[in-house]
Amino acid sequence: MSTAATISSAPRPARRATSSSRPGHRGLTPGDTVEPCAVSDDLDALQGALLRWYGRERRDLPWRRTTDPYAILVSEVMLQQTQVARVVPRYLEWIARWPTAAVLAAASRADVLAAWVGLGYNRRALALHAAAEVVARDGWPADLRTLPGVGPYTAAAVGSFAFGAPVAAVDTNARRVADRLGHGPPAELLPPRRAADWNQAVMELGATVCTARRPRCAACPVAVWCASAGRPAPPPRRAVERFEDSNRWVRGRVVAALAAGEGLPPDIASERVERAVAGLLRDGLVRWVDGALALG
């Protein structure tokens, strides 16, 4: 695969250090109060501090121990909308059962859907299966975004982690961290030749320190370089629908029941089940077989 052709958002040159405005790290510890102060725009120092912190503090996640593009793609698809703690055991089971794209491509859609139960958004499973079919048949494409279910973020993540592409993987965490740091968009922060580590480091910071609702600026390794240290803007609050009230929940219950060889869930209002089944049929996740619903 040509990494250069993978993603169009190549990083722009980093801004250079202005050491005169650099205040130096103050050795912040949890519980310290971070006062807004003159913010250093020394991007080299910011990058070094975050990469060193990531080297020390990174969570040991199984997909961080590999550069196999298939394994990384599986992890990235599972991590869309599903929490890390829930993904880890499912990822390990999946890789043990289907260790390569070719093995997954040979599996039935019904088996793939059944193995996805509980991860949500079942269409992701079918897209992953379809992507495996493409890779098994044609190899990895030069533009990963041509694979089913692979958008700009997933393409950048697989491109940088597996193929060493110098691109920023911009998910919600990376965007929020960049917004708060105030040094430009994520692509401008990317250090030369360290895209994979940098992408992981930014995501790790966003997931564990610079979180959406409770950022821990006093424990942040880049507070000195952050324009928002001590006063990050909270994300806007949105009305949140209870998961059990959503059509997605009903769809998940229907797929889980079919995977278990059961009938449609009897404890959910029939009109909700009918709506969910209509959507599952439309999306090709279930089909009629001899008058009964079946997966895939």
Judge contact between 72 and 162, C-beta under 8 A: yes
b/e sequence 273-284, b meaning 16+ C-beta within 10 Å: beebbebbeeee
Give the type of residue at 109: R
Of 35, 57, 76, 133, catalytic: 76
b/e sequence 153-169, b meaning 16+ C-beta within 10 Å: bbbbbbbbbbbebbbbb
Q: Is 40 in the site for ligand SF4 (CB under 6 A)?
A: no
Q: Is 189 in the site for ligand SF4 (CB under 6 A)?
A: no
Mark whether 76 is an active-site residue. Answer: yes
Q: Is 222 in the site for ligand SF4 (CB under 6 A)?
A: yes
Q: Is 217 in the site for ligand SF4 (CB under 6 A)?
A: yes
The string of DSSP letters for 1-40 reads --GGGT-S-PPPPPPPP-GGG--------TT------PPP
Q: Which is nearer to ligand SF4, 124 or 216 (CB)?
A: 216
Q: Report how far Cα 36 is from the mean position of its chain's Cα atoms.
A: 31
Q: Which of 135, 209, 273, 295 binds ligand SF4 (CB under 6 A)?
A: 209
Nearest distance from C-beta of residue 103 to ligand SF4, angstroms: 41
Q: Which is nearer to ligand SF4, 166 or 215 (CB)?
A: 215
Count of residues interacting with ligand SF4 (CB under 6 A):
15
Q: Is 181 in the site for ligand SF4 (CB under 6 A)?
A: yes
Chain positions 42 to 61 lying near ligand SF4, rule: CB under 6 A, are none
Contact range with ligand SF4 by CB under 6 A, out of 19-27, 49-57, 148-156, 173-181: 173-181
Chain positions 138 to 157 lying near ligand SF4, rule: CB under 6 A, are none
Q: Is 210 in the site for ligand SF4 (CB under 6 A)?
A: yes
Quickly count: other Cβ atoms within 10 Å of residue 81's Cβ. 11
Contact range with ligand SF4 by CB under 6 A, out of 58-66, 101-109, 126-134, 223-231: 223-231
Instruction: Provide CB contacts within 8 A for 245, sequence distance 6+.
Output: none
Maximum Cα–Cα distance for the chain, whole Å?
A: 76
Residues that bind ligand SF4 (CB under 6 A): 177, 180-181, 209-210, 215-217, 220, 222-223, 226, 228-229, 232
> Known catalytic residues?
76
